[in-house]
Amino acid sequence: MSFVVAIDGPAAAGKGTISRAVAAHFGFEHLDTGLLYRAVGARVLAGGDPVECARGLSAADLEAENLRSAEVAQAASRVAALAGVRAALVDFQRGFARGAKGAVLDGRDIGTVICPGADVKLFVTASPEVRACRRFEEQKSAGSGDSYDRVLADVKARDARDMNRADAPLKPAADAITIDTSDLSVAQAVARAIGVIAARRGQRV
């Protein structure tokens, strides 16, 4: 039986970094479910129908070079609000979670919808200002000209869409453990997550 770790949270909270580190530490497979929605968003920006793009998604689509762009991120948030898109991607995510080695899935609704029976559920968050600062620095390093105020506005707009959508809104599962990374280093946040998971598995860190 696969051991499943569900890690949810808003954009730029650190859940991707934590998820990759957790998977590496325990030898689990990792799925960044946000890439699925980014890949659909990228295909929609190219003129595709959202639901058809989700149904026809291939592994190659997850390797596209533009998936980390701000434009694709916003498109991903919009298509993720569509029930038809979410339904088309549910089976893929649940199938991954059944992997024999154990699995870490990070996204927006893993602990609430995709894997409600996950062995460990974490909700990774941080203040909008901290997350906007992180995203601003990332984009600046990539050569983006967006101002901090624009990035903060985008972060808040995306939060509003994700938290208020009718289908699978972003929220912590009732039994999720929250990790606020606003004042934590990467190493501290990762250590906290590993500690929670190790305790659930009856292991010492």
Instruction: Sort 117 into a burial class: Cβ within 10 Å, 0-12 / 13-18 / 19+.
Output: exposed
| 16 annotated to bind ligand | yes
| 15 annotated to bind ligand | yes
| 11 annotated to bind ligand | yes
CA distance 196 to 191: 9
187 contacts: CB under 8 Å, gap ≥ 6:
none
Three-class secondary structure of residue 124 per DSSP: strand
27 contacts: CB under 8 Å, gap ≥ 6:
101, 102
| 10 annotated to bind ligand | yes
3-state SS of 141-174 is HCCCCCCHHHHHHHHHHHHHHHHHCCCCCCCCCC
| 17 annotated to bind ligand | yes
204, containing H or E segment: none
Residue ranges for the binding site for ATP? 9-17
Binding residues: 9-17
